[in-house]
């Protein structure tokens, strides 16, 4: 949610800062996504060696405080630095929170799916709440109010979450890779698949508000309504992760992953030819398959990596993939300004094809044992 408040409010922020086009402000958001990637490695190391529970308290309080800091910015440079701090704290969640959830999970695919559903509902909340707050209270309130809520969540987490005991790095071994499977190959596939997946995720979620406003211009120009329609897309599409999570526990991982990516690319290509409500329906289907591809790298983490080092492996993978995919935020504004949204959709379809190519290198296995 916090990483996408800026993308939803960017038009209002650009107007407040005296810029004529929202595209000119988008590159200032890249530092948040860069730090979201680079911060994952130290966050994962601290999660394994210091404690995942303690790091999650830092996550909640830090991201809330940083969000309030964004609201205090009055120049593009101040905005970029504050967003960078927000991205630094956001980096804690994935390498720390997901391994925390996977500890002892009997159905890791389902656990990942439920967690992914919650995360993508946060994206829907970003579109809905930010659109409403920008319209009625201004863009600064869109950062302050969620920031206060996050700090309150941190206090609640500190009071309610059980004490962790021994940090993960000092526990007994919990899992090993299946015989005959190269961990080096798995790490390469995880990292490359995550990089292309995050490129697609960043391009879509950061562009969708303006993309939807452009393709629905003949229907509505109300920013709150566009935000509500986009929230509907994210909410419905989020449930794809539950379906995929359940299938991960039942279907061979490689077969399922390839199938999701093929449909994803075809839908993005189809969307280039549509507008109005037909485009809205296509966007909903596209986002369902983009969100549906998210659980796969975490599923590989659960299936092939010992819990003692999951936070560090996840941190390494996320540092590379999120750091590289932050370029999507940098090029988004200039790309749309120069070539338009149709070109953007074709680029995204090409990224899906690249993901398919990477996943073909994943070792084939049977369905997981029930």
What distance in Å separates the CA atoms of residue 253 and residue 264, rounded to the nearest whole number?
Answer: 17
Q: What is the pLDDT of residues 75-132, one digit of tens each?
A: 999 999 999 999 999 999 988 888 888 877 778 888 888 888 888 788 778 878 888 8
Cβ(279)–Cβ(342) below 8 Å: no
pLDDT of residue 73: 93
Q: What is the pLDDT of residues 17-44, one digit of tens each?
A: 888 788 888 888 888 888 888 888 888 8
Cβ(326)–Cβ(34) below 8 Å: yes
Q: What residue spans define the domains of the chain?
A: 2-359
pLDDT of residue 316: 78
Residues of the chain with pLDDT under 50: 176
pTM: 0.70
Question: Residue written as tokens 């967003």?
Answer: 83
pLDDT of residue 167: 62
pLDDT of residue 3: 86
Question: Residue written as tokens 């060696």?
Answer: 49
- Tell me the percentage of the chain whose pLDDT exceeds 70: 93
pLDDT of residue 237: 87
pLDDT of residue 169: 53
Question: Residue written as tokens 């591809």?
Answer: 293
Top-tier CATH class for 2-359: mainly alpha
What distance in Å separates the CA atoms of residue 41 and residue 254, rounded to the nearest whole number?
Answer: 27
Nearest 5°: phi and psi at 217?
Answer: -60, -35
């Amino acid at each position: 949610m916090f990483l996408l408040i800026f993308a939803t409010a960017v038009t209002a922020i650009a107007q407040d800062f005296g810029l004529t086009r929202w595209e000119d402000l988008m590159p200032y958001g890249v530092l948040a996504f860069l730090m979201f990637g680079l911060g994952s490695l130290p966050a994962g190391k601290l999660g394994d060696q210091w404690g995942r529970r303690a790091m999650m308290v830092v996550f909640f309080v830090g991201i809330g405080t940083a969000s309030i800091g964004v609201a205090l910015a009055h120049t593009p440079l101040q905005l970029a630095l504050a967003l960078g701090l927000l991205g630094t704290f956001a980096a804690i969640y994935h390498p720390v929170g997901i391994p925390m959830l996977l500890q002892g999970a009997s159905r890791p695919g389902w656990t990942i799916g439920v967690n992914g559903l919650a995360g993508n509902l946060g994206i829907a909340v970003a579109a809905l709440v930010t659109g409403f707050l920008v319209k009625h209270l201004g863009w600064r309130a869109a950062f302050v109010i969620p920031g206060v809520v996050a700090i309150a969540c941190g206090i609640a987490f500190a009071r309610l979450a059980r004490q962790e005991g021994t940090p993960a790095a000092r526990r007994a071994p919990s899992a090993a890779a299946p015989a005959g499977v190269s961990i080096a190959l798995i790490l390469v596939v995880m990292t490359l698949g995550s990089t292309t997946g995050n490129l697609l995720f960043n391009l879509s979620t950061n562009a969708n508000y303006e993309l939807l406003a452009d393709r629905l211009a003949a229907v509505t120009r109300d920013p709150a309504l566009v935000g509500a329609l986009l929230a509907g897309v994210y909410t419905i599409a989020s449930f794809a992760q539950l379906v995929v999570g359940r299938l991960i526990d039942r279907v061979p991982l490689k077969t399922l992953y390839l199938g999701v990516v093929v449909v994803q690319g075809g839908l993005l290509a189809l969307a280039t030819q549509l507008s109005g409500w037909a485009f809205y329906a296509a966007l909903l289907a596209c986002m369902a398959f983009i969100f549906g591809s998210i659980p796969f790298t975490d599923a590989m983490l659960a299936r092939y990596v010992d819990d003692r080092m999951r936070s560090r492996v996840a941190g390494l993978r996320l540092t590379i993939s999120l750091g590289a995919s932050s370029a999507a935020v940098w090029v988004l504004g200039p790309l749309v300004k120069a070539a338009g949204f149709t070109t953007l959709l074709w680029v995204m379809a090409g990224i899906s094809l690249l993901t398919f190519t990477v996943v073909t290198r994943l070792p084939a296995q049977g369905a997981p044992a029930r």
